[in-house]
Chains A and B, each alone.
Chain A
Amino acid sequence: MELWYKELGFYNNPFSIKPLAFHDEIIGNNVREMISKIEKGNVLFIEGEYGNGKTSVLKKIIREFGGSRRLIYYSCNRAEKGIDFDNLLIGRYGIIGRIFKIKPKDMILLLDEAQELTPIDAEKLKDYYKKHFWSIVLVGHKYNDLQIDGFKEVIGENVISLRKLSADEAVRLIRRRIGNINFLPDNIIKVIFEKSKTNPRRLLKNCEEVCKHAHSKGARQVASEHINEALKV
């Protein structure tokens, strides 16, 4: 069985939904502004619906500061008994740092899945802010759902909502992945985007579904009937 994307000339699945799989530019959201805020030492909260690219934005920030050895990325859902910030900080200087327990200053902390942050951890984080962390970026589902009132003061006005993509931006997103091949025309992408309720991740998933189906039918170009057949469920 030959995979459809290999026959079209792609080595990997071009519609992979893993944030790490492609080094895309972030379409539709102003990452530059977030980065300048981080450089000024603010605490940011990035909120967005499922599949709107929260983790992708984080990845972009990581690439921006990569190499400066100032970044700590942590996903709150990994923590079982609260987050051990000391351990995170000490780890930065490797074995020597561990022996002498050196804690670096002006680090940038990226906290993914911030809705899982417990009030206790948030209080601790408040103490560490400015002492060891130059800037903190929290990424979560909804700012208003956050249970950590004390910490909200620190965030202040720096709540950034990821906005939805427009249809043209969706086309650009897909084009970044697959280039200008004729197999998937622009108008078809727009239809799929609408069917995906303008959710980028669902768009990628549905594009994969439709392309796979169209290819199995032996079509040279995706047509609207392929969309209906592939996405009927």
Chain B
Amino acid sequence: MWYESLNLKSNPFEDNGWETELIGYSNEIEEIFYRIASGSMVYIEGGNGLGKTALLKKVIAQFKGIGKVVYLNGNNVKEIDIEGVLINSNGFFGKLLKKLPDGMILLLDDVNYLSKKNCERLKYFYDQNYVKSIIFTGDGFEKANFTESLKERISKVIKLNGINEDEILELVESRLGEKEVFDNPELVKEIWGKSGKNFKKFFKNCELLCQRAVEYNGGKVTKKEVAELLGKDINDNKELKEVKGNVVEHYKKEIEKIKEKIEEREVKKRSGGLHMRNTKKEVEAKNIEDKPQITYEDIAEKYY
């Protein structure tokens, strides 16, 4: 791998918020820990790639030992069965007796998609102290579809403003150690700017640049390469766009095929050819059908 030739054990630009230190958010982390300890609700507001999930991961790392932390991502599902989640988190006997745990810490990532009913239910569990503290994240407190009475109970809205250029330098240095991969610090700032000050994009761009540098340029990222690769944004890169397009097409076809298969079976079933026999393949296919949340873009992103 490219990072091995830089004497690094793992990919320095991998998103592994579990262990790494979050630079520039020490105040926010302190605030969140305090709110959890004092039993309040907090809303973390910030756009994509500003480190909301990384902050939640920090919370998990801090409180994971006590078995009271539940992490839910609202991005994938519209309806979350909060009651079910809480019962399930209570272990085997809890499930058996349908007992609700107390003093849980709920982390709800990307909650703008939650239904009103669910918000009301959250409020109920919070009032009954089944849930000690709730941390919401999302891209706007005002936009979130919460009921008024839930909003009233939220003690604090923490706005994430991202970090400044010096802090991003510090971050890169902490990731790369002593290795001087980038020609000069200005280059890092330039990449940061060209990535739209977005962590996810920034790390992706850095990884791409470093990989290229190791393979073609003896491990040095120069201005020329940055200009070449990041004309404006990674999405403008023609080569990558083509790859992305191909992957999307490929998966579109796959999903079409699966859909056709399911339809065939349904028709057969109705005409009595296939009785109530759910073959393994059918179940699998249905599962794929059940998950429309995975968009083509998602799949493509994994592959480029």
Contacts and interface: CB of A to CB of B under 8 A. Distances in A.
Interface in B75-132: 83, 117, 120-121, 123-124, 126-129
Contacts of A50: 148-149, 152
Q: Which of A77, A116, A201, A208 has most chain B Cβ within 10 Å?
A: A77
A5 interface: yes
Interface stretch (A11-19, A39-47, A118-126): A11-19
Contacts of B40: 13, 17, 208
A208 B124 contact: no
B37 A3 contact: yes
Interface of A: 1, 3, 5, 12-13, 16-21, 50-51, 55, 75, 77-78, 80, 112-113, 116, 201-202, 205, 208, 212
Nearest to B117: A77
A75 B82 CA distance: 15
The size class of the interface chain B forms with chain A is 20 to 34
A116 to B, nearest CB: 7
B174 to A, nearest CB: 23
A77 B127 contact: no
B48 interface: no
A99 B272 CA distance: 40
B155 interface: yes
A3 B34 contact: yes
Contacts of B34: 1, 3, 212
Contact of B121 (A1, A78, A202): A78
Contacts, number: 55
Contact of A18 (B120, B129, B152): B129
B152 A201 contact: yes
A84 to B, nearest CB: 15
Contacts of A201: 152-153
B39 A16 contact: yes
B124 A77 contact: yes
B28 to A, nearest CB: 13
A192 to B, nearest CB: 15
Interface in B32-79: 33-34, 37-40
B30 interface: yes
B120 A77 contact: yes
Given A17-B153, A50-B148, A78-B124, 14 more contacts: A1-B33, A1-B34, A3-B38, A5-B38, A12-B39, A13-B37, A16-B38, A17-B40, A18-B126, A18-B127, A112-B124, A113-B124, A201-B153, A208-B155
A20 B128 contact: yes
Interface in B126-154: 126-129, 148-149, 152-153
A212 B33 CA distance: 14
A80 B120 contact: no
Contact of A113 (B120, B129, B148, B152): B120
A83 B229 CA distance: 61
14 contacts: A1-B34, A3-B37, A16-B39, A19-B127, A20-B128, A21-B39, A50-B152, A51-B152, A77-B117, A77-B120, A77-B124, A78-B124, A113-B124, A116-B120
